[in-house]
Each structure stands twice: as structure tokens, then as C-alpha cells.
Amino acid sequence: MEQNTPKSKSDGFAITNWAEEDRPREKLMAKGPAALSDSELLAILIGSGSTKESAVALMQHILKDCDNNLNTLGKMSLHELMQYKGIGEAKAITIIAACELGKRRQATNAAERPDMGSAQAVYDYMHPKMQDLDTEEAWVLLMNQRFRLIKAVRLSHGGLSETAVDVRVILREALLCNATVLTLVHNHPSGNARPSGDDDRITQKLKRASEVMRIYMVDHIIMTDGKYYSYAEEGKI
């Protein structure tokens, strides 16, 4: 006769026994961090609760004692947090560290994205990365609709060709970071900034593909150490 293994009192409170859509980690992955309450976010940090409360319920209890104010929680000491059953030293340290990071983020100014709205701005930004290269590299600058840089991606090293610069890779990167504007950049180590036939073909290929995806290709810039060629400024894009 099969015997049932007795369950501990804490089994029903374990997050792993909840419906998947109610688990904080799974909820964050499915809906993003903004969909979680303060107690759910803190529950992810502490990982588990006590024998009587889930991690979420435990953090709801602590937050209630703080008048549901995260600033008040951030002022609690290690000793005060450890008075709650289920909060040991490691969990208390984690909560304090998280609150301190929140304070530091609030005190830090948001990073200003560089303006890549002109060929000169692109040259000034990319020149330090490319000035000493003895081989060709291709990069794409991905921007928002205000021409503010979101991400600079190196596409190839050692030459520019249709095989080296994969249009699909460029568009995938643009879609992943919600870019609506892009500029292609590559260098000519020879010092001659005039475009080649390959340069022209890649420019037109990327421009057509970008238009299909409703992404604005603003320019293709060829750089040398000291000057540049801009397809936009030359009216060729």
C-alpha cells in the first residue's frame, strides 16, 4: 500500500506551488518589471519566505509596517529587518543593498544619448574608434527618431562587402532596440574616402531593406583619418 509523504506546513506557501502566472519571476519575464508590485519585486530578491508566509506575503507584512513606503523600508537597520521570521542576515543585507542602489540611481542623472543628426557628429563620435585601424571595419549606428544614439554595433572587421555586412543582422539589431533611424559607417585605411562600387551597392541594398521595415537610413559615411565622405551630404541616398 502506497503511503503519502506528509507535507510540511510551508509547502502551500512556497512560490513554486503557485500558478505560474502568479510567480514573481515568471510574471516579470512575461509582463516586465513594471507589472510587479513592490512586495513581488522584493520577494524575488529574498527568494523564500517563512514556514507561515510566502516571500510575497512576508514582504507585504514588512511593507505594511513601513506604511507601504519604500523610503521607510530603506531606513530600516539590519537588526530591525532580522526581527521578522523568515528574514535572516543574508536576506536583510539583500534588502538593504537593493534600497541603497535605488537611492543611488535616483541621485544619478540619466545618461544623455549623443546626437547623431549630422555627418560631422557621426565622424566625431566614430573617429576615436577607427582612426588607428589598418583594416576596414563596418559599423551601424542605431538611433531614435530624434537622431539620439541608442546603440553602436560593429558589423564586420577586415573588409566591406555584401557578405561581410548582412542586412538582416542590421535590421534585427534595429528592431531589438526599437531604433527608427540608422547610419552605416565604415573606414578606408588607404586614406581615400571616395566610395567604391561595393559601397554604392551595399548602401542601396540597405536603404531598400530599411524602407520595407519603415526604418529611416539617414546616411552612409566613409571615414579616413582626417576626413569623411557622406552619402547624404553628396545627395546619393
Below-70 pLDDT ranges, the chain: 1-22, 109-111, 159-164
Please give the pLDDT value at position 1. Answer: 40
Q: What domains can you pick out in the chain, each with its CATH number? A: 11-107 (no CATH), 119-230 (3.40.140.10)
Give the global pTM. Answer: 0.59
> Which pLDDT does position 106 carry in this prediction?
81
Q: Say what the pLDDT of residue 206 is.
A: 96
Query: What is the model's pLDDT at position 115?
Result: 95
| pLDDT score at 79 | 96
Predicted local confidence at residue 125, as pLDDT: 95
Place of cell 569623411: 228
Q: Rounded distance, CA 27 to CA 33, Å?
A: 8
Give the pLDDT score at 139. 95
The H-assigned helical ranges of the chain are 24-31, 38-46, 55-65, 70-74, 78-81, 89-107, 119-130, 167-176, 197-212
